[in-house]
Structure 1
Amino acid sequence: MTDLRYAAFAQEACGVSPVYEGLARAVAGDAELLALIDGLPEAKRQPNLLFGTVRLLGGPVESWAGFRAFVVERWNAVAREMRARITQTNEAGRCALLLPVLASLPQPLALLEVGASAGLCLYPDRYSYRYGPHALGDGVPVLHCESDLLPSRRPEVVWRAGIDLNPLDVRSAADLAWLDALIWPEHEHRRTRLRQAAAVVAADPPLLVRGDLVEALPSLAARAPAGATLVVFHTSVLYLVPPEPRAAFVSLVRSLPGHWISNEAPDVLTPGAAGPPPGYHNMLALDGRPLAWTRGHGQGMRRV
């Protein structure tokens, strides 16, 4: 199974990150590395977690030989970090996927993100956007997205909060370093965007609660202000959650007032669902109704 997971990741990275595509394919065919990885809990075997950990520890990722030697020779340190951490990619660019849906809902909004990491996706009203020639807002970061769904405005957000097993704080150099390590090697534009978005968040930090997505959601949702539309959302999070608590979360979020926006691989919420078209990875849905296919870091989407 681990070899298939890394092979699938290589396919996802194809055309997006040649470095990670090559590493993932090589890991998928390396019995010794697979045996080491399989010694970790199933949830800790993810390619992003391994590659991000190696980068955080200062290891090489551009060279397969260098990467492999680093992992084998320093496996105890690598495994220790992987056990202690979770994949927390906090890509502000995904706000460009959420924006057309958020703009269509009754305003103002109370945003509640599940799997919020450092909360960078809780600020869709503060960022600027370019959908081809269609522009919204000024200042930085500017989020570029190829899309046939175009928002007419930025939303009005009066409350923002998030849940995470390990909330990160962009004002912490260590937390920011982990967010940086999770960005794919060639994506310097995303590193710039991370720091620009982090500055926005640091100036007005959100309410972030440490907890389980099912246990913490009801009480946090109840804190949303009256008169605002509650929007619970998540992007590339539920694939990390085992099936039973995932089903419990879906049942819970459907029972709450307001709306639910999901952006997940199609088979995460609908087992056996057909995969996305080439170049796309996730399905954007409102209250369980599919709206668009989306790319992993917010760079594109198209109507279903």
Structure 2
Amino acid sequence: MAHPDIIWRVGLDLNPLDVSRDADVAWLEQLVWPEHQLRLDRLRSAVSVAQCCPPRLVAGDLTQDLPALIAEAPANATVVVFHTAVLTYVADQQRRDAFARNMLESDAIWISNEGPRVFPQFAARAGQHREDMFLLMQNGQPLAWTGPHGQQIAWLSATLA
């Protein structure tokens, strides 16, 4: 299977960190629990890639600023919006639901990896809840339960997804 051509890439965060700044990299490393060496190794590999090919980073709020950013994508691009462990910090369920509606109404492929309580309307389709896991979804359809730090994945049966 061929990998897709990435023709446009941008990150959106309230406070984007810059991997060219030692202090920002040190802060990211501080967030990894000391006994999680594999996570630290993955982080360092990702930092190395980002330092070689710096992505465009934009300061902004995904619940407000994402539509304008998506509009900047080249006309021939398939836009994929991916987020993990971020919408749990949007405390208001109505704002999370509005974000989900906007994603479903967009032409983007929406991939979310969040705790099951973030989008309960979609999590109900995944069967028995796994509170210790995240729910990976594409366009609101549950695909798999995942470890919150990327350490495991348990695919759902095709009838659920």
Please give the TM-score of this superposition, normalised by the length of structure 1.
Answer: 0.47
Aligned to 1:248: 98
Q: Structure 1 residue 275: deviation in Å?
A: 2.0
Match of 1:292 among 144, 151, 154: 144
Q: What is the identity, as a one-letter code, of the residue corresponding to 2:12?
A: I
Aligned to 1:215: 64
Q: What is the identity, as a one-letter code, of the residue corresponding to 1:157?
A: I
User: Does the aligned pair in 1 maintain the 2:145–2:153 contact within 8 Å?
Assistant: yes
Aligned to 2:120: 270
Structure 2's unaligned 5+ residue stretches are 157-161
Distance across 1 between alignment mates of 2:95 and 2:32 = 28
Q: Structure 1 residue 233: deviation in Å?
A: 1.2
Distance across 2 between alignment mates of 1:184 and 1:217 = 31
Match of 1:162 among 2, 6, 11: 11
Structure 1's unaligned 5+ residue stretches are 1-151
Q: Structure 1 residue 179: deviation in Å?
A: 0.6
Aligned residues: 151
Greater gyration radius: 1
Q: Deviations over 1:225-278 (max 9, x none)?
A: 12111111111111111223212211222221121111111121016844218x
Which range moves more in the overlay, 189-198 or 291-300?
A: 189-198
User: Does the aligned pair in 2 maintain the 1:235–1:264 contact within 8 Å?
Assistant: yes
Please give the TM-score of this superposition, normalised by the length of structure 2.
Answer: 0.85
Q: Deviations over 1:103-142 (max 9, x none)?
A: xxxxxxxxxxxxxxxxxxxxxxxxxxxxxxxxxxxxxxxx
Q: Quick check: which one's helix share is greater?
A: 1
Match of 2:111 among 261, 273, 295: 261
User: Does the aligned pair in 1 maintain the 2:116–2:129 contact within 8 Å?
Assistant: yes
Aligned to 2:35: 186
Q: What is the aligned-residue identity percentage?
A: 48
Structure 1 runs of 4+ with >3 Å offset:
152-155, 271-274
Q: Equivalent residue of 1:302, what SS?
A: strand
Distance across 1 between alignment mates of 2:112 and 2:61 = 17
Q: Structure 1 residue 172: deviation in Å?
A: 0.8
Distance across 2 between alignment mates of 1:170 and 1:154 = 26
Q: Deviations over 1:186-219 (max 9, x none)?
A: 0122222222211111111111111111221111
User: Does the aligned pair in 2 maintain the 1:214–1:252 contact within 8 Å?
Assistant: no
Match of 1:173 among 6, 22, 26: 22
